[in-house]
Structure 1
């Protein structure tokens, strides 16, 4: 069985990229339960696919997952608000940093299979609403835990 080179998930019947596109579509519809967890889902995905990490090497993604696991969505919203204010190019007097250019994983990033991946969250590829929040919480905990062991 072929596996994703970055997270170790099965590459069939759907690749990680295919599942991520489905999830983004659900997230951007801004409906419960997917929309409110957009930042958490993206952070998990990026940390499990380190070739897509922004220039910060995943630091903001890890901060967001810590906030979510410690304080839920209220804490996530505070972290996101602070990041938006700090990333405003008018505040800094320069241009905004571009994320998503894909850099090599930071030293210490996990290089083995993750215990919970996007595939478990997707269930059958449809990301069913029932239990979605719990699956994302498990994904976040596993991702952050495995980064903690690798960092």
Structure 2
């Protein structure tokens, strides 16, 4: 079987999509270590599968990864909080908060294969808690490095 056309991960025994659905189920349980890293995990997945990037071309995902790598979850939570306040009906008419982080590379920019993918973080497909935080940090770093 061919590897994933976007991230290069093996498609067996489970595809990127299947692994992502498993990860989302863990994230939405809101239990550590998965729940607190939900935004970072989704950002990694989207930037490694650019055909799925939202209308902002991944600007928020890119900013989240930079915030995480530079300041950890505290910086991610501050960024998400500013974005939520900017999306509030109370903020109508005011400019949206600036998204922090390095300039987003062009969506179609050539990039290398990723040295860490969802397949690596999943380990055996279960995203084991003992390895998850370290795996997500490596996933985030590999994602940013590949898009430089």
With the length of structure 1 as denominator, give the TM-score of the two structures: 0.85
Q: CA deviation at 1:119?
A: 0.2
Q: CA deviation at 1:113?
A: 2.1
- Given the superposition, is the C-alpha separation of residues 109 and 46 from structure 1 closer, same or farther in structure 2, using an over 3 Å criterion? farther
Q: CA deviation at 1:144?
A: 0.9
Q: CA deviation at 1:145?
A: 1.2
Matching residue of 1:52: 52
Q: Are 1:147 and 2:132 counterparts?
A: no
CA distance in 1, matches of 2:135, 2:7: 17
CA distance in 1, matches of 2:144, 2:40: 11
CA distance in 2, matches of 1:108, 1:92: 34
Q: Are 1:33 and 2:30 counterparts?
A: no
CA distance in 1, matches of 2:12, 2:52: 21
Where 2:109 maps in the other structure, the secondary structure is: coil
The count of corresponding residues between Structure 1 and Structure 2 is: 137
CA distance in 2, matches of 1:28, 1:145: 28
CA distance in 2, matches of 1:109, 1:118: 20
Please provide the CA RMSD for this pair.
Answer: 1.6
The structure 1 segments of at least 4 consecutive aligned residues displaced by more than 4 Å after TM superposition are none
With the length of structure 2 as denominator, give the TM-score of the two structures: 0.87
* Partners of 1:9 and 1:113 within 8 A in 2: no
